[in-house]
Amino acid sequence: MSETPAAPARMTRQRAAVAEVLGDTDEFRSAQQLHELLRSRGDSVGLATVYRTLQALADGGEVDVLRAEDGESLYRRCARREHHHHLVCRSCGRTVEIDGPTVEAWATQVGATHGFDDIEHTIELWGTCATCRERV
């Protein structure tokens, strides 16, 4: 019944660097983007380690993960740890965190109505943010 099931175990330069770059960005970013960001900062971290660290953070609920339309996973440290959804800019990753009490209720009820158990829902909104719309 723990919120954070797997403790991160041992702190390393690499894990600190990944945590820091996540703290510095507000947009959803792919593992490869984060890897490149780290390299360009001088805090070079192996790609495998970036993936491992992101996965651990995701398991612990520290970062949210979503799938871009091309299937790539995108990661972001959100402001709140509570369940929420996202409105994400397709071209720059800019993100707005969304609350949907209505949708939550709707999703749960629809599942129950049809006799399904262990209902989960995927709700993500994609669009083009105002800034990206400018630079046609």
**Tokens for 80?**
């709140």
Neighbours of 105 (CB within 10 A): 10
The helix (run of H) or strand (run of E) holding residue 97 is: strand 95-98
Site residues for a second copy, window 52-111 (CB under 8 A)?
67, 71, 87, 89-90, 96, 98, 100, 102-103, 106-107, 110-111
Nearer to Mn ion, 21 or 74 (CB): 74
Determine the 3-state secondary structure of 89 from DSSP.
strand
Stretch that binds Zn ion, among 18-26, 51-59, 82-90, 99-107 (CB under 5 A): 82-90
**Look-up of token digits 């947009």:** 27
Q: How far is the CB of 127 from DNA (least distance, A)?
A: 21
Verify binding: residue 114, a second copy, rule CB under 8 A: yes
